[in-house]
Amino acid sequence: MSASVEQRPPGVGSGPDEVIRTEQLTKVYPGDIRAVDGLDLSVQRGEIFGLLGPNGAGKTTTAGMLTTRVIPTGGRAFVGGVDVVAHPTAAKQVIGVVPQTNTLDRALTVWENLYFHGRFFGMGAKTSKTEATRLLEQFRLADRAEAPVLALSGGMAQRLMVARAIMHQPAILFLDEPTAGLDPQSRIALWDILGELHAAGQTILLTTHYMEEADELCNRLAIIDRGKLLALDTPAALKQSVGIDAMVTVTAAGDLDQLANVLRDEIPNATTVDHSDGVVRMGVRQIQGVLPKVVEAAERHGFSVSDLSSTEPTLETVFINLTGKDLRE
């Protein structure tokens, strides 16, 4: 079997608790666009699993293949043990999906969107009615029940799509960038909902390009870029894997190439030093006493430091380390 086995933390592996599995999953779109390229993933029951990657990394395509809407061109994918390509109807019974775009049924009202979704998934008329009403209460949309979905704000529409996706109690919930375009308040409200679902044992696969979201919510994270898996672990382990205690950012005028060289030579604790966007970034192992040395060294070589900061390593650091580029272009 493939390398993903060794990457699994202890106790994580195939077996009855594995609810999502991909083996060398690949999607090549016409025009030889390798959107997903040999992806191996394994998600355990009850996990919030994150797919983190920049625009075009292949997150939506991966979620699309797992939810039967995108047909893989190679490899295999299983949800709840069901091969999604061979048995899409069986697979669709166990998943709930919040797509990246608003796919609410505009011919129906807010309440009807939920009601008919319940019916699609085999809920009786009565159950579907009471569940639709209950969910609207729970997601604070009850006062909009009779409104057309076009009258909802972006955040409300997003809440309604989450309500719709969990209505039939899917074993696995997929959310594709659920908080993109939400204001901070709505984002936190959605995080709370996902937290509650997680507490109730819901398995969740979530895609995002927000570091904070991945850090805050996910038990484990797969960092992907250009359709390839770059790293897979818990957020804490990923941050530790960078092997630094702090990230020092130096802003100064002048030839930053030269400044980077100076710092590389003069700061013994520095692990990595590079520069972009007018700042020098430096990974440091022992941060105590480093900052004064940075200023001293820079000024001795004729640089005047206008800003200096140090932060704990974040997922962003991890990402820059892995790809050599910033996640927010």
Ligand X SMILES: Nc1ncnc2c1ncn2[C@@H]1O[C@H](COP(=O)(O)OP(=O)(O)OP(=O)(O)O)[C@@H](O)[C@H]1O
Residues at the site binding ligand X, with contacts judged by CB under 6 A: 29, 33, 35, 53, 55-61, 100, 209
Give dist(CA 94, CA 268) in Å, integer: 54
Q: At residue 264, what are phi and psi to the nearest 5 degrees?
A: -60, -40
Judge whether 209 and 177 are in contact, CB under 8 Å: yes
- Closest to another protein by CB, 202 vs 317, is 202
For the residues of 57-109, what is the DSSP string, one character each? SSHHHHHHHHTTSS--SEEEEEETTEETTT-HHHHHTTEEEE-SS----TTSB
44: which strand partners?
18
Does 143 bind another protein (CB under 8 A)? Our answer is no
Minimum CB distance to Mg ion, residue 104 (Å): 18
* Distance in angstroms between the alpha carbons of the first and the last residue of the chain: 36
Does 85 bind another protein (CB under 8 A)? Our answer is no
Q: Which stretch binds another protein (CB under 8 A): 6-14, 86-94, 284-292, 305-313?
A: 86-94
- Closest to Mg ion by CB, 80 vs 99, is 99
Residue 62 burial (10 A CB sphere; 0-12, 13-18, 19+) = buried
Minimum CB distance to ligand X, residue 36 (Å): 7
- Closest to another protein by CB, 98 vs 263, is 98
Partner from ligand X, Mg ion, another protein, none contacting 71, C-beta within 5 to 8 A by type: another protein
- C-alpha distances (whole Å) from 309 to each of 30, 324, 326 are 46, 20, 18
Q: Which of residues 223-242 bind another protein (CB under 8 A)?
A: none
Give dist(CA 167, CA 123) in Å, integer: 10
- For another protein, the binding residue among 200, 277, 288, 307 (CB under 8 A) is 200
Partner from Mg ion, another protein, ligand X, none contacting 58, C-beta within 5 to 8 A by type: ligand X
Interface ranges with another protein (CB under 8 A): 19, 29, 64, 67-71, 80-82, 87-95, 97, 99, 101-108, 112, 116-117, 119-122, 134, 137-138, 164, 166, 169-171, 173, 192-193, 196-197, 199-203
Interface ranges with Mg ion (CB under 5 A): 59-60, 100
